[in-house]
Amino acid sequence: MAFVVTEPCFDCKYTDCVVVCPCDCFHEGERMLFINPEQCTDCEACMPECPVEAIFYEDNVPEKWAAFIELNREMSQTLPTITERKPPLARR
């Protein structure tokens, strides 16, 4: 199991979670972040750092965002790793 970034991250992309991750499992997309489940160690460091509450343990992802489980798996395989804080996107 792993943690999953869900819909609230879309178009905000805060990176508070990235800087506390001990295993560098975050990947940066154009409009949101993704977690590589193969790299995530379930340490829970990222979850309380997310100001929009977009990160959930895989088993606790709300049903309406269940598709984000596979989306994180797929997108993390193709996107670059992010390990440093960056300015968030402007919320629309």
The class level of CATH for 3-76 reads: alpha beta
Report the distance separating Cα 33 and Cα 79, nearest Å: 9
Arithmetic mean of pLDDT, 56-80: 98
Q: Sketch the domain layout of the chain as residue ranges.
A: 3-76
Percent of the chain past pLDDT 70, that is, above it, reads 97
pLDDT, tens digit, for every residue of 31-66?
999 999 999 999 999 999 999 999 999 999 999 999
pLDDT, tens digit, for every residue of 9-20?
999 999 999 999
Q: How far is CA 60 from the centre of its chain?
A: 14
pTM assigned to the model: 0.94
92 pLDDT exceeds 60?
no
Q: What is the pLDDT of residue 1?
A: 78
Residue (of 11, 54, 32) closest to 46 by Cα position: 54
